[in-house]
């Protein structure tokens, strides 16, 4: 930025033409300044920029051969830039009307030496600007592009400017004085506003998709937790049945040992019966004398019969135990099959959950990129204005 110097240039420079510049708003636009520096250097002119309009006018009037270039944006662009900064349209409109009157009053003092031009004309069409100033043409400077406003805010600004007859009159007078070297149409602003609206709708759709995917992921996670609980319950039930099966196996082994003992006792009693039979045959003739021996043998027979009956009962119990063990074995196999199915289902749901989480991460990343975009931040005032309008309705 060139330092402000409202005083008359040094006498040593009076033989060179001077170009005084004032920009509105007061913040210096580097792109405009760079373009004018190229123009002044190409025509051997002194370029002096001023932050205040009265200072620029004082310096300009002190040098009759100088030119005063007032860089004034279109009215709706000034209001849109102020609304982007958070100012209210009413305060912006009042400030703009006051400044516009000052500019028009200064312009009316000397229309030949005081010219009004838009920033777009100063930056993008230096050849046309040189022709209007009767200067030697210069090449376009390599400067950054001018900042752009939210197209929706520009439409709102145009509506505010068109709402009052006095304002419309000042806008027409200022537009008639401006050297519009650029050509902006209402359609281009509406197209930009439509593109902005489409981006906002895309953000809303992506947000809805993200919420739906998150709900689906939560549902699948709860379902997976239920399947995992069912698997744990099945494993617990399997462990209980395995414990019962082990106990049944121990009981079967005990019954086998008892059966072996009974077989051993039976074999012993059979041997005794055989010996008694031999003794009876050999002592039949001595039956009368051996009555007591015969009674003892009858007692042995009774005991043997009791043992045989007990053996038969043990065999029945053994058969029942074997049948129960077989049932436990079949039930254990069914439970193992059920556990395998539950494990397979759990793996599938975990894979689905992983896919959903990947999809959510992609949607989050896309939403974050949109939320960080300049367009989304610039539409914050519009969304707030639309929110208040919907509440009032």
Average the pLDDT over each of 50-59, 145-154, 214-223, 384-393 and give the range with the smallest value. Answer: 384-393
Is residue 6 pLDDT above 50, yes or no? no
State the pLDDT at residue 11.
34
- Contact call for residues 49 and 1 (beta carbons, < 8 A): yes
What's the rounded Cα separation, in Å, for the pair 32 and 145?
Answer: 9
- Tell me: the pLDDT tens digits for 235-259? 888 888 788 888 888 888 888 888 8
Mean pLDDT of 192-208: 58
Q: Tell me: cis bond preceding 293? Omega within 30 of 0 counts.
A: no
Mean pLDDT of 302-319: 85
Question: CA neighbours within 13 Å on the CB side: how many for 181?
Answer: 21
Burial class (CB in 10 A: 0-12, 13-18, 19+), 57: buried
State the pLDDT at residue 97.
92
**Mean confidence (pLDDT) of the chain:** 80
- Tell me: the pLDDT tens digits for 357-377? 999 999 989 888 888 888 878
Largest CA distance in the chain: 176
pLDDT grade, residue 200 (50/70/90)? low
Q: Hey, which residues does 82 pair with through a beta bridge?
A: none
pLDDT grade, residue 8 (50/70/90)? very low
pLDDT > 90: what percent of the chain?
13
Q: Which residue has the higher pLDDT, 287 or 374?
A: 374
Is residue 131 pLDDT above 70, yes or no? yes
Q: Which of 170-174, 207-211, 371-375 has the highest mean pLDDT?
A: 170-174
State the pLDDT at residue 20.
92
pLDDT grade, residue 82 (50/70/90)? confident
pLDDT grade, residue 156 (50/70/90)? confident
- Which domains are present in the chain? 11-184 (3.40.50), 201-382 (1.10.287)
pLDDT grade, residue 339 (50/70/90)? confident
Q: Where are the beta strands (DSSP E) in 133-265?
A: 178-179
Mean pLDDT of 329-345: 86
SS3 of 8-67 = CCCHHHCCCCEEEEEECCCCCCHHHHHHHHHHHHHCCCEEEEECCHHHHHHHHHCCCCCE
pLDDT grade, residue 185 (50/70/90)? very low
Which residues, 6+ apart, have CB-to-CB distance to 203 below 8 Å?
367, 370, 371, 376
Mean pLDDT of 97-113: 92
State the pLDDT at residue 2.
33
- Tell me: the pLDDT tens digits for 16-52? 588 999 998 765 578 888 888 888 888 888 989 888 9
User: Rounded to two decimals, what is the model's pTM?
Assistant: 0.44
Token pair belonging to 13: 């420079």
State the pLDDT at residue 302.
84
pLDDT grade, residue 299 (50/70/90)? confident
Is residue 127 pLDDT above 90, yes or no? no
State the pLDDT at residue 180.
53
Closest CA to 181 of 86, 13, 69, 97: 69
State the pLDDT at residue 120.
83
State the pLDDT at residue 287.
66
99-105's contacts with Cβ under 8 Å and 24+ in sequence apart are: 99/24, 99/53, 100/75, 100/170, 100/174, 101/170, 102/53, 103/24, 103/53, 103/70, 103/72, 103/174, 104/170, 104/173, 104/174, 104/177
Q: Which residue has the higher pLDDT, 181 or 332?
A: 332
Average the pLDDT over each of 221-225, 283-287, 325-329 and give the range with the smallest value. Answer: 283-287
């Amino acid at each position: 930025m060139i330092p402000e110097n409202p005083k008359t240039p040094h006498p040593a420079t009076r033989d060179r033409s001077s170009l005084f510049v004032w920009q509105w708003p007061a913040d210096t636009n580097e792109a405009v300044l760079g373009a004018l520096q190229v123009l002044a250097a190409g025509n051997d002119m002194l370029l002096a920029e001023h932050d205040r309009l009265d200072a620029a006018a004082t310096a300009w009037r002190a040098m009759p051969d100088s030119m005063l270039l007032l860089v004034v944006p279109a009215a709706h662009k000034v209001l849109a830039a102020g609304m982007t900064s958070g100012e209210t349209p009413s305060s912006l409109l009042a400030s703009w009307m006051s400044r516009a009157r000052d500019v028009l009053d200064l312009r009316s003092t000397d229309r030949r030496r005081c010219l009004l031009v838009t920033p777009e004309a100063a930056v993008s069409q230096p050849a046309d600007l040189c022709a209007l100033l009767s200067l030697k043409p210069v090449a376009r400077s390599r400067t950054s592009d001018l900042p752009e406003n939210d197209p929706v805010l520009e439409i709102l600004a145009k509506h505010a400017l068109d709402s009052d007859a006095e304002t419309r009159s000042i806008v027409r007078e200022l537009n008639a004085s401006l050297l519009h070297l650029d050509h902006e149409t209402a359609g281009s602003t509406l197209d930009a506003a439509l593109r902005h609206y489409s981006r906002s709708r895309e953000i809303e759709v992506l947000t809805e998709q993200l919420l739906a995917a998150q709900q689906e992921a939560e549902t699948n996670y709860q379902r997976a937790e239920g399947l995992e609980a069912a698997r744990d319950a099945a494993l617990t039930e399997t462990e209980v049945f395995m414990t019962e099966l082990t106990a049944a196996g121990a009981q079967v082994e005990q019954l086998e040992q008892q059966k072996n003992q009974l077989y051993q006792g039976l074999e012993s009693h059979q041997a005794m019966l055989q010996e008694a039979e031999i003794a009876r045959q050999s002592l039949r003739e001595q039956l009368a004398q051996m009555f007591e021996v015969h009674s003892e043998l009858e007692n042995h027979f009774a005991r043997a019969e009791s043992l045989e009956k007990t053996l038969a009962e043990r065999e029945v119990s053994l058969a029942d135990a074997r049948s129960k063990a077989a049932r436990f074995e079949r039930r254990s196999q069914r439970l193992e099959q059920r556990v395998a199915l539950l494990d397979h289902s759990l793996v599938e749901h975990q894979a689905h959950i992983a896919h959903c989480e990947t999809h959510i991460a992609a949607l989050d990343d896309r939403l974050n990129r949109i939320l960080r975009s300049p367009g989304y931040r610039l539409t914050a005032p519009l969304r707030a204005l639309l929110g208040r309008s919907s509440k009032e309705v």
